């Protein structure tokens, strides 16, 4: 392999536990040839030394992230990619970091961009339909988890060696929590030729409906070989987008025209929904799990409902990523400003008690605090308050992760209810009640010398 030497030795001296020597990072991945380069990141081919699995390694310099005020964007991208596990979405395997760099270890998608095919001209209808089916499957899954991509275009759609589509680049994505009080998103972003008219108008918009518009532009481009709204003058193009003014080439079939015409509707309220697309006869033609939803059984179902999420039966708790543990708990490797995301202070602690004892304690504390145990399976328990709060009944999930045989991490998170009420419960009730099993709470240093 063509190794990347860079300034790795300097970083190795600073972080002996996270060594980067002779083109090998963290004693785990070899870094090879450069695959691509953007404004803020470089992507290299890599290989897992233990498994020989090919990966893509995206390297971002922290100082540049901070200089360009992109900390929040990187946080969001990491959090979103950890949430969306789907066969038609590029997988984020893990995130690692040194003082100077962030390393995204991602699935290696070897077929290149879908854009490369579109540039050569229109695709056969059955091929375009297959890619569109896989795109809609991925987008529908994202929306079900409250994630809106906001930059869907052929350049961000990759193909694997089996010609299956993979959605990538969630840097501009938005979460359900990003909505304002009006229930809409307001950040204007994306690529003009693919952006929905309501986004261009700089008004509030529904992220799901905006993504659907982009999917319609992509479908048109796959079938026509060019974009529906093309003008050298940007304002002329915008006027056409606002009016939904475009022409179909003669070779596009009547059924595909009907579907595209239902998607590229300027009024988002009248635009077809994803469920509507998935019931469309043209869309359904030739649809099968084998060619459009490969390995669907591998889709991460953890957040498709708490009952399903808690339904695991395991003889031991899940393993907690050691780097994530170090970066969250240790000030010596404090990366909280980049990786804390949804983990707020007071929601994560370590314990030296057995996982089974921790679970017993959690259930005991729930009863003591008058919290109803809604579901408890494996090493995860959901607790719910009995009284109505500002935003309904407060619901809390606690999960135990194994870091090492003698160390466990317990994560508390809010499922439903008011955030302030959740924080007050954690600070005033939960922390004192758990003090006899806690080794250290996140952000506190009393376990530093023991690790």
Alpha-carbon torsion (130, 136, 142, 144), positive or negative: negative
Give Cβ neighbours of residue 176 (< 8 Å, ≥ 6 apart): 146, 147
* CA angle, 76 then 80 then 84, to 5°: 175
Catalytic pick from 6, 27, 140, 151? 151
In the DSSP assignment, the letter for residue 272 is P
62 is in an annotated binding site: yes
Give Cβ neighbours of residue 215 (< 8 Å, ≥ 6 apart): 132, 135, 136, 139, 152, 263, 277
* Contact between residue 112 and residue 126 where contact means Cβ atoms under 8 Å apart: no
The token pair that represents 250 in the structure block: 């003669």
Question: Distances from the Cα of 53 to the Cαs of 48, 145, 172, 238, 306, in angstroms?
Answer: 5, 29, 29, 45, 33
DSSP 288-332: -HHHHSTTGGGS--TTS-HHHHT----SSPPBPPHHHHHHHH-GG
* Contact between residue 198 and residue 205 where contact means Cβ atoms under 8 Å apart: yes
Cα–Cα nearest to 428, from 334, 365, 354, 384: 365
Q: Give the three-state DSSP class for 89.
A: strand
Cα first-last separation, the chain: 35
* Contact between residue 349 and residue 413 where contact means Cβ atoms under 8 Å apart: no
The token pair that represents 51 in the structure block: 């498994």
Tell me which residue has tokens 């543990």: 325
Alpha-carbon torsion (193, 198, 200, 206), positive or negative: negative
418 counts as catalytic? no
Question: Distances from the Cα of 319 to the Cαs of 53, 143, 243, 322, in angstroms?
Answer: 20, 28, 53, 9
Residue set of the binding site for ATP: 62
Q: Known binding site: residues?
A: 62
List active site positions: 151
């Amino acid at each position: 392999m063509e190794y990347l030497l860079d300034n790795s030795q300097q970083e190795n001296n600073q972080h002996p536990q996270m060594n980067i020597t002779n083109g090998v990072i963290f004693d785990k991945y070899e870094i090879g040839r450069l695959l691509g380069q953007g404004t803020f990141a470089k992507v290299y081919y890599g290989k897992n030394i233990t498994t020989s699995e090919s990966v893509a390694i995206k390297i971002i310099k922290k100082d540049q992230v901070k200089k360009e005020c992109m900390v929040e964007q990187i946080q969001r991208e990491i959090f979103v990619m950890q949430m969306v596990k789907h066969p038609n979405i590029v997988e984020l395997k893990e995130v690692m970091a040194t003082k100077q760099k962030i390393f995204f270890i991602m699935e290696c998608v070897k077929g290149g961009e879908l854009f490369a095919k579109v540039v050569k001209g229109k695709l056969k209808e059955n091929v375009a339909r297959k890619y569109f089916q896989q795109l809609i499957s991925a987008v529908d899954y994202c929306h079900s988890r409250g994630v809106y991509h906001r930059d869907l275009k052929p350049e961000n759609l990759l193909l694997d060696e089996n010609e299956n589509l993979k959605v990538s680049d969630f840097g501009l994505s938005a979460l359900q929590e990003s909505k304002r009080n009006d229930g809409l998103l307001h950040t204007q972003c994306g690529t003009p030729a693919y952006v929905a008219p309501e986004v261009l108008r700089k008004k509030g918009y529904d992220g799901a409906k905006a993504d659907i518009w982009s999917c319609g532009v992509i479908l048109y481009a796959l079938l026509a070989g060019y974009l529906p709204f093309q003008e050298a003058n940007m304002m002329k193009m915008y006027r056409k987008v606002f009016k939904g003014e475009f022409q179909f080439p003669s070779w596009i079939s009547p059924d595909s025209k009907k579907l595209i015409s239902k998607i590229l509707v300027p009024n988002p309220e009248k635009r077809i929904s994803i469920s509507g697309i998935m019931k469309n006869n043209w869309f359904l033609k030739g649809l099968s799990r084998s060619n459009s939803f490969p390995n669907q059984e591998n889709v991460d179902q953890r957040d498709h409902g708490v009952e399903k999420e808690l339904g695991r039966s395991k003889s031991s708790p899940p393993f907690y990523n050691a780097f994530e543990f170090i970066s969250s708990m240790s000030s010596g490797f404090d990366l909280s400003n980049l990786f804390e995301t949804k983990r707020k202070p007071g929601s994560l602690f370590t314990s030296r008690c057995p996982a089974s004892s921790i679970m017993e304690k959690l259930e005991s504390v729930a009863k003591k605090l008058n919290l109803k145990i809604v579901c408890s399976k494996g090493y995860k328990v959901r607790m719910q308050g009995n009284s109505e709060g500002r935003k309904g009944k407060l619901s809390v999930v606690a999960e135990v992760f194994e870091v090492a045989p003698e160390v466990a991490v317990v994560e508390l998170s809010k499922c439903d209810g008011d955030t302030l009420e959740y924080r007050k419960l954690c600070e005033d009730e939960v922390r004192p009640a758990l003090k006899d099993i806690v080794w250290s709470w996140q952000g506190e240093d009393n376990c530093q010398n023991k690790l």
